[in-house]
Structure 1
Amino acid sequence: MTPLLLDSIPSDLLFLQQKAQREWAHALEEQQIANPLWPESRYQAFIRVCTLSDFVLSQAIRDPQMLIDLVRSGQLDRTLVPGEIRHQLHERLTDCNDEASLLLHLRQHRNYQQVRIIWRDLLRQAELSETCRDLSAMADACTDLAYHWLYKQHCQLFGTPIGRYSKQPQQLVVLGMGKLGAYELNLSSDVDLIFTYPEGGETEGAKRSLDNQEFFTRLGQKLIKALDTITADGFAFRVDMRLRPYGSSGPLVYSFTAIEQYYQNQGRDWERYAMIKARVVAGDQNAGSRLLRILRPFVYRRYLDFSAIEALRSMKQLIQQEVRRKDMDDNIKLGSGGIREVEFIAQAFQLIHGGRDLSLQQRPLLNILDTLAAQGYMPSADVTELKDAYRFLRYTEHALQAVADLQTQSLPDTALEQARLAFIMGFSDWTTFIGQLMYWRKRIEYHFRAVIADPDADDEECIGGEWLPVWEDSIAVESIYQQFSDAGYQDSHAAWQRIVQLRESAQLRAMQRIGRERLDTFMPRFLAQTVEHDNPDLVLERVLPLVEAVARRSAYLVLLTENPGALLRVISLCAASPWIAEQLSRFPALLDELLNEGRLYRPPLAPELTAELREHLLRIPEEDVEQQMNALRHFKLAHRLRVAASEIAGTLPLMKVSDYLTWLAEAILEQVLHLVWNEMVRKHGLPKRLDGSPSELDFVVVGYGKLGGIELGHGSDLDLVFIYDCDPLAETDGQRPIDGAQFYTRMGQRIIFMLTTRTTAGGLYDVDMRLRPSGDSGLLASSLSAFARYQAEQAWTWEHQALIRARVLVGSATLTEQFNQVRLKILGRQRDLSVLRDEVSEMREKMRHNHGTQITQGGLGQNAFSADVPFDLKQDAGGIVDIEFMVQYAVLAWSWQYPQLVTYTDNIRILDGLGAENLFSANHVRTLQEAYKAYRAAAHRLALQKQQGVVEGNLFIDERHAVMGVWQELGLSYL
Structure 2
Amino acid sequence: MSSSDRSTGLTSLARSGFDDLSGADVLLDELAEALGVAREVVVAPSGEAADPDAALRALVRVARRAPEPVRALIEDAEAWENAWLLLGASMGYGEFYSRHPDQLGALAGAGRELPSAATMTATLLAAVGADEGFASSGDESAWVRLRVAYRTQVALIAVHDLRQRQPEIILHAVAAALADAAGAALEASLAVARTRITDGGPGGQYSRAHVAATRFAIIGMGKTGARELNYVSDVDVIFVGGAPEDPDVGVSEGRAIDIGTRLAVQTMRGISEVEVEPPLWEVDANLRPEGKQGALVRTLHSHVSYYERWAKSWEFQALLKARPIAGDRGLGDDYVAAVRPMVWTSAARENFVDSVQRMRERVTDNIPADEVANQIKLGPGGIRDVEFTVQLLQLVHGLSDPSIHQAGTLVALDALVAEGYIGRTDAAAFATNYRMLRVLEHRLQLRRLSRTHLMPTDRTELRVLARSSRLSDTGTALVRRWESIKREVRDIHVRLFYRPLLSAVAALPAEERVLSSAQAHDRLAAIGFVDPRGALRTIGALTSGLSRKATIQRHLMPIMIRWFADGVDPDYGLLAFRRVSERLGDTPWFLRMLRDSTGAAERLTKVLSGSRYVGELMEWIPESAAWLDRDDQLQPRSGVALQEEARAIQERHSTIDDAMRAVRALRRREVLRTAIGGVLGILSIDQIAEALTTITETTIQATLRAVRREVVPAEDDGLDFAVIAVGRFGGAELGFGSDADVLYVFRANDVPVHRAGALAARLVAGLREHSEDFRLPLDLDADLRPEGRKGPLARSLEAYETYYARWSLSWEAQALLRARGIAGSVSLIAAFTEMADAVRYRPSPDPNGLREIKRIKARVENERLPQGADPARHLKLGRGSLSDVEWLVQLMQLQHAAAIPDLRTPSTLGALEVLEREGLLPGLAVARLREAWVLASRLRSANTLLSGTTSDVLPTDRGRLDGIARLLEYPPHSATAVEEDYLAVTRRSRRVFEKYFYG
Question: Which has the larger share of helix?
Answer: 2
Q: Which bin holds the TM-score, normalised by the shorter protein?
A: 0.3 to 0.5
The structure that has the greater radius of gyration is 2
Name the TM-score, length of structure 1 as normaliser: 0.46
